Amino acid sequence: MSRFAIGVDLGGTNLRVAAINENGGLFDQLSFLTEVEKGREDVVDRLSKGILQLVERWKDIYQLAGIGVGIPGILKMKEGILVASPNLPGWENFNIRAQIARRLNSPFYLENDANAAALGEKWIGSGRACDHLCFLTMGTGIGGGLILNGKIWHGVAGMAAELGHVTIYPNGRLCNCGNYGCLEAYAAASAVVKAAKEILESGKASSGLQKAASAGTKLTSAIIYRLAREGDASSVSIFEGVGRALGLAIANFINIFDIDTFVLGGGAVDAWDAFEKSMFEEVPKRSYIYRNDPRKILKSHLGNQAGLFGAAYLAFQS
Amino acid sequence: MSRFAIGVDLGGTNLRVAAINENGGLFDQLSFLTEVEKGREDVVDRLSKGILQLVERWKDIYQLAGIGVGIPGILKMKEGILVASPNLPGWENFNIRAQIARRLNSPFYLENDANAAALGEKWIGSGRACDHLCFLTMGTGIGGGLILNGKIWHGVAGMAAELGHVTIYPNGRLCNCGNYGCLEAYAAASAVVKAAKEILESGKASSGLQKAASAGTKLTSAIIYRLAREGDASSVSIFEGVGRALGLAIANFINIFDIDTFVLGGGAVDAWDAFEKSMFEEVPKRSYIYRNDPRKILKSHLGNQAGLFGAAYLAFQS
């Protein structure tokens, strides 16, 4: 009897529950809107019911290997408490493990969503062939996941891989974490918008960016990326800055870990062609290890499904 | 029959070979001058003879657990080749494993000296109680060693923990590695001297530093530390800069690894009281993990014997 696992990806907007086999084949999926406004108990209800539904549907055909749940935010791994989550307002210090456990009556793995995504990429994504992987997810913020010897590296308090909050420009922009110059403040989607606003305020913006701003549409990183593709000088330079920030951070990670595979995911990775040149220029400048022995820096293969696959893999891996 | 191991610490100046028991008791030691100028074959001869001498002396009383040799420089671990070593001029691309093996006729462990020192501190030094440890050795340069789950982390090419070459000030001083703004360029003993020269050249040096410079004695980090203790303003600010650089780097390592114990060793750690205040101010600014859950940042307990003990422990650990 072949095995399957349930993977859950709880996002701020979407909640997905999938049945995945040991070869990485996703053969059944339920998708909900998260609807955080209905309250966290309601979200946990739907999440748990989704799991039970898929288990019920397949448990006589395949053997259930286990259940994995990816959660956005800072988790106290031992206690199963969600300390804070920018994507789930009102869930601070929520004992999510206890809440799910009460509804499921069967064991499950809980994991930070970026860690789960890193594991997914290592399993059947861009990091398939490697033992160690560093994953960066570029969304509104920047999340990170570290795979060492094939397993998620949690650190002593389960807080490892806060890679978006590594200082890269000590006197740089204020970050949401209270520090100045974090990677997140220079390479997240929100940082792209911040950089555009700074250029606009300086009065030195090129015409494309100026027009977009004065047209009254809300500036997003997607719009600025479109402008960069059209050749707008300010927008091009903003994404060059993103690449330099990423390159600097990745070079540091290479010097620290001597890891061979880096995978970039998240929505802002769509702008890859706008930042890759400056990123690949910066890494060798900052790392003699890389100069002597280049490493792989790749786009996510699984896209927004990385976390779903990684969550399921938690069960297969155990 | 209780066991013993041989630990070797090959430095640019001194070569030490010690017999150490499983409790971390050093009960016999041979010390030589390295005398690099006599040629690398000659050094390897003395190193090997020292090992054989101690093995011979104790092998009937205790059981030999093994031999560990710590080497300064970049080692290709698999091949046993010393790629480069600032402290051993002329040893570039030297197959040191083959050279020692030919003389010993028994297996031995080869390790980078900073990694060995990290392991020594983990075994019976400042990191005794921890599973994970980050070690920084502050000498002419800055070396690093990472212990994860009780073992040295080597990375994919054996180049991990080049912690002195993490970029902390992207537009900062040129480093020997070719990058700008490495930690080594701000916190090594050589960086202290560079900072003093920069202040002197700017014409803004305080009187103590000016006098020391014009007296014609060669400026060293030890002299600048003495001036700092005497209250010389420029010298005080130089070591505050060392502390900020260390604090920034350590905060990044916490955000990346979530490690709980950091140990600083090497000669420049003698100036601890001159840099600790600014270091401990900087870490919480740069790491919200640390703000919520402070970590241990400690002076080396074993001093210049850390590498010797760590080399011996390689044999006990295996």
Cα A195 from Cα B72, distance rounded (Å): 44
pLDDT tens-place string over residues B37-58: 999 999 999 999 999 999 999 9
Max Cα separation, chain A?
67
Query: Helices H, strands E: what count in chain B?
Result: 11, 13
Measure CB to CB from residue A288 to each of B158, B163, B178 and give the nearest one.
B178
Residue B209 pLDDT class (50, 70, 90 cuts): very high
| Structure tokens, B139 | 């000498």
| B195, B265: one domain | yes
| B289, B310: one domain | no
Contact A165 B131 (CB under 8 A): no
Predicted pLDDT at B105: 86
User: Cα A291 from chain centroid?
Assistant: 27
Residue A291 pLDDT class (50, 70, 90 cuts): very high
| B140, B251: one domain | yes
User: Quick check: B84 pLDDT over 90?
Assistant: no
Distance from CA of A85 to the nearest CA of B (A): 14
| B159, B176: one domain | yes
Q: Which of residues 104-163 of A touch B (CB under 8 A)?
A: 131-132, 146, 148, 153-163
User: Quick check: B282 pLDDT over 90?
Assistant: yes
CB contacts < 8 A (A, B): 115
- pLDDT above 70: percentage of residues in chain A: 100
Residue A201 pLDDT class (50, 70, 90 cuts): very high
Question: What integer is the mean pLDDT of A222-247?
Answer: 98
Backbone φ and ψ of A197, nearest 5°: -65, -40
pLDDT tens-place string over residues B96-146: 999 999 999 899 999 999 999 999 999 999 999 899 999 999 999 999 999
Residues in chain A closer than 8 A to B256 (CB atoms):
146, 160-163, 166, 253, 256
Q: Which of residues 180-239 of A touch B (CB under 8 A)?
A: none
| B102, B211: one domain | no
Region of poorest pLDDT, from A79-88, A144-153, B222-231: A79-88
Distance from CA of A79 to the nearest CA of B (A): 16
- pLDDT above 70: percentage of residues in chain B: 100
Question: What integer is the mean pLDDT of B1-14?
Answer: 95
Distance from CA of B219 to the nearest CA of A (A): 29
| B143, B280: one domain | yes
Distance from CA of B116 to the nearest CA of A (A): 16
Q: Which domain, by its residues, includes A259? A: 133-300
Terminus-to-terminus CA distance in chain B, angstroms?
18
Predicted pLDDT at B223: 97
* Whole-number Cα distances in Å, A277 to A143, A237, B264: 22, 12, 37
Give the mean pLDDT of chain B: 96
* Comparison of pLDDT for B117 and B77, the residue scoring more: B117
Question: What integer is the mean pLDDT of A11-23?
Answer: 96
Predicted pLDDT at B77: 85
Distance from CA of A184 to the nearest CA of B (A): 13
Distance from CA of A77 to the nearest CA of B (A): 13
User: Quick check: A43 pLDDT over 90?
Assistant: yes
> Closest chain B residue to A164 measured between Cα atoms?
B255
| Interface confidence (ipTM) of the complex | 0.95
| A38, A141: one domain | no
| B88, B139: one domain | no
Instruction: Name residues whose C-beta falls within 8 Å of residue B158's C-beta, 6 or more positions apart in sequence.
Output: A258, B75, B76, B77, B78, B112
Predicted pLDDT at B312: 98
Terminus-to-terminus CA distance in chain A, angstroms?
18
Cα A314 from Cα A152, distance rounded (Å): 9
Q: How many of the other CB atoms lie within 10 Å of CB of B171?
A: 9
Contact B154 A258 (CB under 8 A): yes
User: Quick check: B273 pLDDT over 90?
Assistant: yes
Contact B252 A166 (CB under 8 A): yes
Residues in chain A closer than 8 A to B289 (CB atoms):
157, 159, 162
> Closest chain B residue to A252 measured between Cα atoms?
B166
| B312, B251: one domain | no
> Closest chain B residue to A168 measured between Cα atoms?
B168
Distance from CA of A230 to the nearest CA of B (A): 30
Split into its structural domains, chain A has a count of 2
- pLDDT above 90: percentage of residues in chain A: 91
> Closest chain A residue to B285 measured between Cα atoms?
A179
Predicted pLDDT at A78: 86
| B39, B172: one domain | no
Contact B288 A165 (CB under 8 A): yes
Residue B85 pLDDT class (50, 70, 90 cuts): confident
Contact A131 B156 (CB under 8 A): yes
pLDDT tens-place string over residues A129-138: 899 999 999 9
Cα B74 from Cα A291, distance rounded (Å): 14
Predicted pLDDT at B217: 82
* CATH number reported for the structural domain that contains residue B192 in this entry: 3.30.420.40
User: Quick check: A314 pLDDT over 90?
Assistant: yes
pLDDT tens-place string over residues A48-95: 999 999 999 999 999 999 999 999 988 888 899 999 888 898 999 999
Predicted pLDDT at B70: 97
pLDDT tens-place string over residues B240-266: 999 999 999 999 999 999 999 999 999
Q: Does A49 touch chain B (CB under 8 A)?
A: no
| B92, B195: one domain | no
| B117, B197: one domain | no
Q: Does B174 touch chain A (CB under 8 A)?
A: no
Residues in chain B closer than 8 A to A132 (CB atoms):
155-156
Contact B179 A260 (CB under 8 A): no
Q: To probe the interface with B, which of A258, A290, A291, A293 has the most B CB atoms within 10 Å?
A: A258
pLDDT tens-place string over residues B295-309: 999 999 999 999 999
